[in-house]
Chains A and B, each alone.
Chain A
Amino acid sequence: MEILKFVKKVQPPYVTGTLTTPAGTARRVATSWSRQDRWGMIRSRISAFRMAYIVEPGLYAVGSPTKDSDVFVTANYKLTFDILRRSLYQIDAWILVLDTKGINVWCAAGKGTFGTDELVRQIRLSKLDSVVEHRRIILPQLGAVGVSASQAQKITGFRVFFGPVDARDIPAYVALGRKKTKEMSTIRFNILDRLVLTPMEINPAMKKFPWFALAVLVLFGLQPSGILFSSIWHPGMTFLLFGLLAVLAGAFVTPVLLPFVPFRSFAVKGWIVGMAMVAGAVLIIDPLPLHNMLLLVSVYVFFPALSSYIALQFTGSTTFTGMSGVKKELKIGITLYATATAAFIIMVVVYKLKEWEVI
């Protein structure tokens, strides 16, 4: 046995054994998460680690499935796969993992990689028709964007059932005889769902922050005699602080408080939150440089707009924003953002010229 281990390919830790099927062998996987799985989830929620968090496509088993057991289809993003296998606790079933290049079901379906062709390909590769005797497969509902159920059935003979949106509802769905309640087929987007998405809103925004910081520091440090570091501190640091505040407003506070911020438009929501936080900071901190009217106005013009722009990015992570709506927001928004940025730069430059007593 020990020797066999070395000869065979090293299996990932969530594989607990193998199962012989009429079509060969399938790997059996655990339905519980190890510490490694939990750590992987955290890392993929906060960083680009998720871009390479993958599972090998193909057929897997949970419990002791037979030729009559259900087949659940999923993507090969490991977090997706983990959530599915955890939901299959005490259920005997097959899992067919499609090659979605490590992307979750919904995004991959939108792109077509979780699609009819790949489904057909994996059904054939795994020889599913000899593994099970029935002819039904259960797909995650959000995969329907990429999979035509009737086409897949025409080619493979397998009838496609679109299961619940959330894998957590699978046991109830199975118990109901593959029937969904309205709750099971409607997507949830509560405060926790939104909160876990915020690190990946803050992260990309902060990646661009050094450029903003550089521009601000150079601008405020600039003197007729060169860049003077001593004069960076007052206005420069104030502006950096408001920059961070705008990121916090647009990438964290707006997403978390989304339904509680008035208006439907994300740009407006982000602007309102940004404005409230900027005004709050001006009142509470009362930074000395903002006693200058020009700088004060420039702060109110630019930072709420920045928060609005960042909040608009969250449309990419929500479950209810459509392309036509986002296009409409951008059509108006981009002009306003460009105007606000231009006005901001002009005001700061005028302030500097006044400081140098040029005008």
Chain B
Amino acid sequence: MKYLVNVTTLAYKDDKCAGCGRCVEVCPQGVFEMNEKKAMITDRDLCMECGACAKNCDFEAISVNSGVGCAAAIINSMIKGGEPNCGCSDTSGSSNCC
């Protein structure tokens, strides 16, 4: 399943890629594939901005403005300010998220 097109903040610089394959290993959406010892983007609209690839790229070839794609979290952050997060991991966490 695919979400909105042309919205992801995923950016990839293939000249920095060292071909370690970590991005292919961690992406749950199959955005990356290996092609002749370098990573290649298959379909960037599949990206859900979880940030696993950027977190595990040691060569700074990938950047993405990662965060939770959750309406309740984003509405909360609009009201209270700060970054959207679902509060699931707080001890006071609400029971109605992820």
Contact = CB atoms under 8 A, between A and B. Distances in A.
Contacts of B60: none
Contacts of B52: 109, 141-142, 144-145
Interface residues of chain B: helix, strand, loop or mixed (majority): loop
A323 B66 contact: yes
A316 B48 CA distance: 12
Contact of A322 (B49, B73, B91): B49
Given A145-B52, A324-B65, A264 B3 contact: yes
Contacts of B72: 313, 316
Nearest to A265: B4
A258 B1 contact: yes
Contact of A200 (B2, B26, B47, B96): B96
A328 interface: yes
A324 to B, nearest CB: 4
Contact of B93 (A51, A149, A266, A319): A51
A6 interface: no
Nearest to A309: B71
B11 interface: no
Interface in B48-98: 48-52, 55-56, 58, 65-75, 78, 84-86, 88-89, 91, 93, 95-98
- How many of chain A's residues touch chain B, expressed as a range? 35 or more
B25 interface: yes
Interface in B18-55: 22, 24-30, 46-52, 55
Given A320-B1, A322-B8, A111 B95 contact: no
Nearest to B55: A148
A328 B69 CA distance: 11
A324 B70 contact: no
A222 interface: no
A144 B4 contact: no
Contacts of A187: 28-29
Contacts of A146: 55
A74 interface: no
Contacts of B3: 264, 320-322, 325
Contacts of A328: 4, 7
A47, A144, A204, A322: residue with the most chain B Cβ atoms closer than 10 Å = A322
A252 interface: no
A237 to B, nearest CB: 27
Contacts of B74: 323, 326-327, 330
A316 B8 CA distance: 17
A189 B70 contact: no
A60 B17 CA distance: 38
Contacts of A162: 25-26
A162 B56 CA distance: 11
A186 B46 CA distance: 11
21 contacts: A47-B95, A100-B89, A106-B98, A111-B86, A144-B25, A144-B52, A180-B25, A185-B25, A315-B69, A320-B1, A320-B46, A320-B48, A321-B3, A322-B49, A322-B69, A323-B65, A323-B67, A323-B69, A323-B84, A326-B71, A329-B71
Interface of B: 1-5, 7-9, 22, 24-30, 46-52, 55-56, 58, 65-75, 78, 84-86, 88-89, 91, 93, 95-98
- Minimum-distance CB pairs A-B, first 7: A316-B70, A204-B96, A48-B95, A144-B26, A322-B49, A323-B67, A321-B69
Given A320-B46, A323-B65, A326-B69, 4 more contacts: A207-B96, A264-B3, A318-B1, A330-B74
